[in-house]
Structure 1
Amino acid sequence: MKIEQADVRDVAGLARLLWLDTVKEEPGGRSVEAFAAELAHWWAARQDSHLAFVARLADAEIAGMAWVALLPRIPRPGATSRLSADIQTVFVVPEQRGQGIGSALVQAASEYAANVGAIRVTVHSGRRAVPMYERLGFESSRQLLRLQPG
């Protein structure tokens, strides 16, 4: 297993994983190939702020992904280049789960965020994944609040 930053050549594999992750939401008769084209267009417009990390099997197939969104923060006196990061859409194919792939992907994305100067890294997790994030040093915060629009 190899963890590395994805690039444009990985769009089809990333689209496949995103498709698998949302298959229960029934994408409405669309094809994964059509979605891959949309993802390529979306990512091209956001390549400076959204990066993906992938886990590759020995045959180079992508078995997992984790995205990191880099978010510029409002400048403060003496700190004009503030940045936060949000880990998003961590997914490992079911047959490869339980082997530490998700942890390795989150670690790679978090380390990247820290290396580019993020002052905070957040994640919105499903209940089952919380222990993994806690093992990696993430903590719950009473100060991080959310509002569901509508």
Structure 2
Amino acid sequence: MRISQADTDDIGGLAGLLWRDTLNEEPSRQCVDAFAVDLAQWWAAHQHSHAAFVARLLGAEIVGMAWVALLSRVPRPGATSRLSADIQSVFVMPEHRGQGIGSALVEAASEHARRLGSLRVTVHSGRRAVPVYERLGFESSRQLLHRPGR
């Protein structure tokens, strides 16, 4: 398995994984190729704040991904460059799960955020994945709250 930071050549593979990840959640009104065009445009506009990491096995096919969103925080005296990071859209093809691919992707995305100076890395996880994130050192926090949309 090889983990690497994604680039624009990976848009088609990333779009395919994102498209497949949402098949059970909501009906797709868009084919994967049309979504790839939209994703490319979105990423071009957000490349300064979002990075994607991909997993490949022996060939070039992408079998997993993890995104990290970086957010500049309000400066404080003596700390004018503050960053937070959020792990997003982690997905591994079902036939490749249970092999540590998702964990390796999350570690790569987290390390990227740390290298850039992120003070913390968060993740909003589904219940089934919570033990995986805990094994990777993520902890629940009473101070990190969210306000659900209506």
Given the alignment of the two structures, is residue 2 of structure 1 paired with residue 7 of structure 2, yes or no?
Answer: no
CA distance in 2, matches of 1:31, 1:145: 36
The residue aligned with 2:79 is 79
Q: How many percent identity over aligned positions?
A: 71
CA distance in 1, matches of 2:71, 2:132: 24
Given the alignment of the two structures, is residue 16 of structure 1 paired with residue 16 of structure 2, yes or no?
Answer: yes
The residue aligned with 2:28 is 27
Supply the AA of the counterpart residue of 2:61.
Answer: E
1:112-140 CA-to-partner distances (Å, cap 9, x unmatched) read: 10010000100000011111101110000
CA distance in 1, matches of 2:135, 2:146: 24
CA distance in 2, matches of 1:110, 1:132: 14
TM-score (norm 2): 0.98
Supply the AA of the counterpart residue of 2:127.
Answer: R
CA distance in 2, matches of 1:17, 1:40: 14
TM-score (norm 1): 0.98
Map 1:19-98; keep pairs closer than 5 Å. Answer: 19-24=19-24, 25-28=26-29, 30-98=30-98
> Any idea what SS the aligned residue of 1:144 has?
coil
Runs ≥4 residues deviating over 6 A: none
The residue aligned with 1:145 is 145
Q: Give, in angstroms, the shift of residue 26 of structure 1.
A: 1.4
Supply the AA of the counterpart residue of 1:143.
Answer: Q
Given the alignment of the two structures, is residue 133 of structure 1 paired with residue 146 of structure 2, yes or no?
Answer: no
Unaligned runs of 5+ in 2: none
Matched residue pairs, number?
A: 149
1:22-51 CA-to-partner distances (Å, cap 9, x unmatched) read: 0111112x2100000000000000001000
